[in-house]
Amino acid sequence: MSAGTGTGRTTLAAFDAALADAGVSDFNLVRLSSIVPPGSRILEVDGPEQLRGDHGDALFCVYARAHASLPGHEAWAGVAWSRRDDGSGAGLFVEHEGPSHEQVSSDLTHSLEDLSATRGGAYEPEGRRVVGIRCDTLPVCAVVVATFRRVGWEEPDHER
């Protein structure tokens, strides 16, 4: 899991800059829901330590993405996780975006509590990653990316 922030002349360019800061800008992101498979390890890393791959590879991930484009406004993104209490490593991710650290942090806590309650209360909070950025003039983006796996593309068959 990594986090990044970025600025650009458009919100899309700011998102790309934040992905670059998080170390995942050259992947095609495939967004997953919030289930952590049994046996998984969750590692917090800096952008340069994220998964490596070829340009255009598919990256299966959970991510939170927040934008701000008005001067003085903030963009905050966060991902939190919990683990099932049976030692299997199975868990849950939740992702939230908002205009303040406080809102994102509160939403992460409430979502983890509710998702655990839906599953009989068998999950305990384990960690979270939250990042934010303030807009001065140009649009900004904050992103947190929890990666699962990278998949490359096979060469297509060519008809003769």
CATH number, position 134: 3.50.20.10
Q: Is residue 156 part of a domain?
A: no
- pTM summary value: 0.91
Q: Is residue 54 part of a domain?
A: yes
Q: Is residue 104 part of a domain?
A: yes
pLDDT of residue 146 exceeding 70, the answer is yes
| DSSP E strand stretches across 11-135 | 28-31, 35-36, 58-68, 74-84, 91-98, 123-134
Q: Which residue has the tokens 């209490």?
A: 85
Kindly list the distances between the CA atom of residue 153 and the CA atoms of 64, 70, 145, 146, 158, in Å, as whole numbers in the listed order. 25, 39, 21, 21, 15
- How many domains is the chain partitioned into structurally? 1
Domain membership of residue 133 as a residue range:
2-151
Q: Is residue 11 part of a domain?
A: yes
Q: What six digits make up the tokens of 40? A: 């998984």
Q: Is residue 158 part of a domain?
A: no
What would the mean pLDDT of 120-136 be, rounded to a whole number?
96
28-63 confidence digits (pLDDT tens):
999 999 899 999 888 888 888 888 888 999 999 999
As a whole number of angstroms, the distance between CA 59 and CA 9 comes to 26
Q: Is residue 117 part of a domain?
A: yes
Residue 119: per-residue pLDDT: 93
